């Protein structure tokens, strides 16, 4: 069972109170962008065994979207943070580095 | 205008805890910037209560205000005065970006009372109802079995559950089954 703390209402919500909303930190490429960028935005997703960044919604709760960093293999949660961020906060990156030195995920490491 | 009735018109059930539908209740969804002075003044004018803190309910002389999300409050008043309260809130928030919506008839409210009422709720929602985790003045939005609901603790030790009116019968049946004699847990 996955338990994530919602950064907006502080509730330690277990999985059934949340809804997974796909990958975090997607950069949108809209009309007028290159075909490869548009394809990447629409279809290309990370599917790592290990460190992963995801978007979640506290759907049976305050209803807010937030981002979470966790390990898909061990279900270790490194932290949750506001969805209004362009990259993971440094303290979460540090926590990941403590467990997985040399990790990388897309452009973050 | 036709006579307003609540979803289950006061249905009740007595098991090891008592479950009853509380009848008509005035409820107003209030959205906006909770940190703003206008919002605090509007809440004060409408209910006499201060702005609630994170996941808290504050009761004033005219009603109660519950924290629902970082930009949403639930104002609970008597059904008879709800239109008046909407007018007061709308007037107080006329200059700012905010939403005031009367949702009284879209919801159902249940009271669960009795010594072991936390057990009734704990069977249905993934929430810690322990005495030091949840009590009077706390509100928690979660799910009850398969539907969203919110629950808050009253000063007398009872709990009140609100859900959408469309699932009123479902939630009442859930609470009924959960409170049935023979189903005591004795944990809380």
Domains of chain B: residue spans and CATH: 14-23+106-179 (3.30.1360.120), 26-105 (3.30.70.1520)
B143 touches chain A (CB under 8 A): yes
Asked if residue A46 belongs to a domain, the reply is yes
A40 touches chain B (CB under 8 A): no
Inter-chain touch B54–A64, beta carbons under 8 Å: no
**CATH code of the domain containing A25:** 3.30.2270.10
What is the structure's pLDDT at B2? 83
What is the structure's pLDDT at B100? 97
Q: Is B168 left (phi over 0), alpha (psi -120 to 50) or beta?
A: alpha
Inter-chain touch B142–A14, beta carbons under 8 Å: no
The ipTM (two decimal places) reads 0.88
Chain B residues touching residue A57 (CB < 8 angstroms): none
Inter-chain touch B55–A60, beta carbons under 8 Å: no
Asked if residue A79 belongs to a domain, the reply is yes
B163 touches chain A (CB under 8 A): no
Asked if residue A108 belongs to a domain, the reply is no
Separation CA A66–CA A47 (nearest Å): 19
The answer to whether residue B80 scores a pLDDT higher than 80 is yes
Task: Please give the mean pLDDT across all residues of chain B.
Answer: 95
What is the structure's pLDDT at A4? 97
Asked if residue A106 belongs to a domain, the reply is no
B141 touches chain A (CB under 8 A): yes
Of residues B2 and A88, which shows the higher confidence score?
Answer: A88
CA distance, residue A75 to nearest chain B CA (Å): 19
B57 - beta bridge partners? B66
Q: What pTM was estimated for this model as a whole? A: 0.90
Domain range for residue A65? 3-99
Asked if residue A49 belongs to a domain, the reply is yes
pLDDT band at A1 (very low <50, low <70, confident <90, very high): confident
What is the structure's pLDDT at A7? 96
Asked if residue A109 belongs to a domain, the reply is no
A26-62 pLDDT tens trace: 999 999 999 999 999 999 999 999 999 999 999 999 9
Separation CA B62–CA A60 (nearest Å): 29
B96-105 pLDDT tens trace: 999 999 999 9
Nearest C-alpha in A relative to B148: A60
Separation CA A101–CA A103 (nearest Å): 6
Inter-chain touch A17–B55, beta carbons under 8 Å: no
Closest residue to B70, CB basis, from A13, A14, A62: A62
A33 touches chain B (CB under 8 A): no
B126-158 pLDDT tens trace: 999 999 999 999 999 999 999 999 999 999 999
The answer to whether residue B1 scores a pLDDT higher than 90 is no
What is the structure's pLDDT at B109? 97
* For range A63-88, the mean pLDDT: 96
Separation CA B76–CA B57 (nearest Å): 10
Inter-chain touch B126–A8, beta carbons under 8 Å: no
Task: Please give the mean pLDDT across all residues of chain A.
Answer: 95
Asked if residue A40 belongs to a domain, the reply is yes
B36-76 pLDDT tens trace: 999 999 999 999 999 999 999 999 999 999 999 999 999 99
Q: CA B49 → CA A12, B27, B65, distances in Å?
A: 28, 15, 7
Q: Are strands B107-113 and B99-102 parallel, antiparallel or unpaired?
A: unpaired
Angle at A52 between CA A51 and CA A57, to 5 degrees: 145
* For range B160-166, the mean pLDDT: 97
The residue length of chain A stands at: 109
Asked if residue A104 belongs to a domain, the reply is no
B169 touches chain A (CB under 8 A): no
Separation CA B136–CA A105 (nearest Å): 45
Domain count, chain A: 1
């Amino acid at each position: 069972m996955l338990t994530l703390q919602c950064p907006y209402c502080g509730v330690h919500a277990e999985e059934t109170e949340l809804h997974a909303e796909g990958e975090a930190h997607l950069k949108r490429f809209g009309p007028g962008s290159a075909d490869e960028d548009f394809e990447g935005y629409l279809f290309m997703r990370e599917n790592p065994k290990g460190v992963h960044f995801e978007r979640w919604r506290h759907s049976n709760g305050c209803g807010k979207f937030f981002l979470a960093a966790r390990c898909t293999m061990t279900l270790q949660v490194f932290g949750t943070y506001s969805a209004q961020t362009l990259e993971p906060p440094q303290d979460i990156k540090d926590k990941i580095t403590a467990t997985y030195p040399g990790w990388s995920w897309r452009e973050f490491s | 205008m036709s006579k307003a009735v609540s979803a289950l018109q006061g249905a009740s059930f007595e098991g090891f805890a008592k479950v009853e539908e509380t009848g008509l209740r005035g409820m107003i969804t209030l959205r906006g910037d909770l940190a703003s002075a206008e919002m605090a003044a509007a809440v004060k004018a409408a209910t006499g209560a201060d702005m609630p803190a994170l996941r808290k309910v504050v009761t004033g002389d005219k009603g109660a205000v519950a924290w629902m999300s970082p930009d949403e409050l639930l104002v609970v008043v008597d059904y008879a005065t709800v239109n008046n309260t909407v007018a007061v809130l709308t007037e107080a928030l006329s200059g700012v970006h905010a939403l005031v919506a009367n949702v009284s008839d879209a919801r159902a409210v249940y009271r669960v009372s009795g010594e072991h009422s936390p057990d009734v709720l704990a069977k249905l929602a993934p929430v810690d109802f322990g005495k030091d985790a949840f009590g009077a003045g706390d509100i928690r939005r979660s799910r009850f079995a398969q539907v969203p609901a919110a629950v808050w603790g009253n000063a007398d030790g009872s709990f009140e559950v609100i859900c959408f009116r469309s699932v009123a019968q479902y939630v009442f049946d859930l609470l009924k089954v959960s409170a049935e004699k023979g189903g005591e847990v004795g944990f809380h």
